[in-house]
Structure 1
């Protein structure tokens, strides 16, 4: 009997060691999951709420604001853009015309954007009668406010930087959450919810199962939202353009260009072409082509209905037109010489590099613009799941929090495991530098707090 006992001891010791090692990794991952969640929680609630609203931008604009976005179709031909711009100027006498949006459908209004000092004012008009339907500051439109809250652009570059950090931490949340969810030989809390809402285990299981179902969606939303971020997104665009994987630079070759980027002329220049330089017209003795003729030429060139066209600025300015419909294959940007009306640059979706196409498509899915209603409902489901993850996380923390403390999960006793997991998290942060800086700051604060606790304990 004693021989058998001695023979089994090494196996038992090895199993115990493996179990202790797994527990140590679990604790270290749990601590970082807690930190990431602590930072992300309020922002994830805001992002999911505003994102869910923005998915239905067209439906909201077409129902709540139908009085300015919808008109009764008529058998008569619409009024030309020149007359519509003139009527818009009567509504905003101190304004200067900046852009014109062609009606997207027979029952859609036309829109003129006017500059009035630092303000941009949208004037909606009936394209058949020329009547002004409404005027509103661009930044005060409901969907503009929702988008500003979603990106925190309303509070300036700092707010957008915070959202970039949160997006990076959301990726950390998903990856660490997957590690915590991993079954490890158990059945409860993997795909089923145990107990009832009075018990913490019910909230824990609901959180885990929701994360299992929707974690991939949250990861997708974070990755496809990052291209719009203030630092990582701009660097990605600059790199992809320099590598010939984004903006098709060859289309600008041998063209006189300005130092003005397309984003300064168009309200929606698309992600890939935001930094593309606006071409310059060659001044000529002939008079500038009028907006009526320019719009007619753009339609003849195949621009889908609903395109936006920016009016020329200065003697060497151009007509710059763009459209980003739900069908990505119809996305297009055209610039016209204001004198000869000759197309200077004509960019279709297929002209973009592979990175540019992938990101444009990913952004469209992120905004619910592909596959019809199914895309909207899928993204809405991920938004609701994100909201549920935040609520269940907050409830779990509230139920387990100690009196007078945050309830931060303790580090494992094995410092090597803690250091290894932290190094992996820092390595992940290196892919998203603003998030990486935040992670490094958290590591520094954690180490400083630990030293203070040890000093006080002496």
Structure 2
């Protein structure tokens, strides 16, 4: 009991050290948490699952994605596998994905005559069709779309972008509230017992101090996928020069279509245009998929690369791969008539900003450092859920009956000036976040004016 009283006295002393500033920060920490915590829980759960996407997909879709390894058997040619896929599901093959390992199936993307876009899985040893799913129809693609709220339209995706900005505010104000001010507990240790609010306060504070920097990292590295900020920055950063540095492309005409229109690509390559085949003017015969795959193999693309199959006379074969090892990322466009490499772009050719962003995205997805990367972020996701739960319990124990329990307004409103200056800077960088901050300021002001009137 004495420890509990001592802990409460320390909390009181800490808040009295600068009561108006403490109240202002606490108030905005409360608002940020009220908005962010529901998203933090869903993002953490779906993100934790997606960290192990390859392992989970291989388990759930084992009948389609894994095959028996057979020694001393010549693999079926890519064209044979494509023919088998089209026979089973009539339509036009638009992409061939090379088996990533000896125990993996090949994947043929087919625009079926029925109007569906299918991923057809083929055994590369005998060319037998194993089955098909809707394109991006695996369980992990479902989790990815839930993580980004893509299923719920552009408004929901905009809300996720706003939540990312508010997460940074939440962590910043949380660190201020946690910062030691002479107290002996609640910094790296947890006091009290679960029935006490002090216990949950300390769990929340100590957990936040451990995972806070990781939360900010995930919020910042998640912003490139955001609808407004991410889209505009990508367009500004990569929209010039067809998306390729001059040294990596020959002087060939560009089609106007973007690489991202043809399938999944790296963030830094989304604005890159697809070239046209100069060999079309000579009216020669196309080299065919088998020859294109052989050329890409000779160029050393990482196993598991995808090949976009041209559907027009001026089209190109595009080989692309985005493995866990960033240095192996690569995009190669081949003239479909001569096999000449028109563009050969790798991670080393990205600009400094692009390399940093791609590194952040790779770490965010748990890819860059293997199992260690996955386990570290799994721990962060678990910490995020604990933060949200402890915040809810702490609020429930603190709030007055019949009230939301919003922290009190500072008596000296001038303490908001420094905080507002930080919010303005953040709002300029992230416009949707800035707009939401203005809305929250207006609502807070309206509520504080209404309370005296009601009283």
| Partner in structure 2 of residue 279 of structure 1 | 275
The answer (yes or no) to whether the contact 1:25–1:421 under 8 Å persists in 2 is no
| Partner in structure 1 of residue 216 of structure 2 | 219
Q: Which aligned pairs between 1:77-88 and structure 2 lie closer than 5 A?
A: 77-88=74-85
1:392-420 deviation digits (Å, cap 9, x = unpaired): 11111121222232111111101101343
CA drift at 1:450: 2.2
The structure-2 alpha-carbon separation of the partners of 1:352 and 1:288, relative to structure 1 and needing over 3 Å to count, comes to same
CA drift at 1:385: 0.7
| Partner in structure 2 of residue 145 of structure 1 | 142
Q: Which aligned pairs between 1:33-432 and structure 2 lie closer than 5 A?
A: 33-74=29-70, 75-93=72-90, 95-116=91-112, 119-241=116-238, 247-248=244-245, 250-252=247-249, 254-266=251-263, 268-282=264-278, 283=280, 284-432=282-430
The answer (yes or no) to whether the contact 1:265–1:320 under 8 Å persists in 2 is no
Aligned-residue RMSD, C-alpha = 1.8
| Partner in structure 2 of residue 3 of structure 1 | none
* Distance in 1 separating the partners of 2:123 and 2:433: 47
* Distance in 1 separating the partners of 2:240 and 2:196: 54
* Distance in 1 separating the partners of 2:128 and 2:240: 49
| Partner in structure 1 of residue 435 of structure 2 | 437
* Distance in 2 separating the partners of 1:163 and 1:220: 16
State which drifts further: 171-180 or 234-243: 234-243
Q: What secondary structure sits across from 1:369 in the alignment?
A: coil
Q: What secondary structure sits across from 2:439 in the alignment?
A: helix
The structure-2 alpha-carbon separation of the partners of 1:164 and 1:450, relative to structure 1 and needing over 3 Å to count, comes to same
* Distance in 2 separating the partners of 1:135 and 1:379: 32
Q: What secondary structure sits across from 1:409 in the alignment?
A: coil
CA drift at 1:317: 0.8
* Distance in 2 separating the partners of 1:306 and 1:322: 9
The answer (yes or no) to whether the contact 1:138–1:144 under 8 Å persists in 2 is no
| Partner in structure 2 of residue 4 of structure 1 | none
The answer (yes or no) to whether the contact 2:238–2:269 under 8 Å persists in 1 is no
* Distance in 2 separating the partners of 1:199 and 1:161: 38
| Partner in structure 1 of residue 23 of structure 2 | 27
Residue correspondences, number = 437
* Distance in 1 separating the partners of 2:51 and 2:161: 20
1:148-182 deviation digits (Å, cap 9, x = unpaired): 00011111222221111111111111111111110
The structure-2 alpha-carbon separation of the partners of 1:21 and 1:430, relative to structure 1 and needing over 3 Å to count, comes to farther
* Distance in 2 separating the partners of 1:232 and 1:357: 18
Unaligned regions of 5+ residues in structure 1, if any? Answer: 1-17
* Distance in 1 separating the partners of 2:61 and 2:16: 61
CA drift at 1:327: 1.1
The structure-2 alpha-carbon separation of the partners of 1:242 and 1:275, relative to structure 1 and needing over 3 Å to count, comes to closer
The structure-2 alpha-carbon separation of the partners of 1:118 and 1:181, relative to structure 1 and needing over 3 Å to count, comes to farther
1:260-302 deviation digits (Å, cap 9, x = unpaired): 1101113x21110011111111213111121111111111111
The answer (yes or no) to whether the contact 2:119–2:136 under 8 Å persists in 1 is no
* Distance in 2 separating the partners of 1:50 and 1:154: 14
CA drift at 1:139: 4.0
Q: What secondary structure sits across from 1:272 in the alignment?
A: helix
CA drift at 1:134: 1.8
Unaligned regions of 5+ residues in structure 2, if any? Answer: 1-13
* Distance in 2 separating the partners of 1:181 and 1:374: 28
The answer (yes or no) to whether the contact 1:411–1:418 under 8 Å persists in 2 is no
* Distance in 1 separating the partners of 2:265 and 2:297: 18
State which drifts further: 333-342 or 228-237: 228-237
The answer (yes or no) to whether the contact 1:426–1:440 under 8 Å persists in 2 is no
The structure-2 alpha-carbon separation of the partners of 1:176 and 1:222, relative to structure 1 and needing over 3 Å to count, comes to same
The answer (yes or no) to whether the contact 1:72–1:107 under 8 Å persists in 2 is yes
TM-score (norm 1): 0.92
* Distance in 1 separating the partners of 2:185 and 2:80: 68
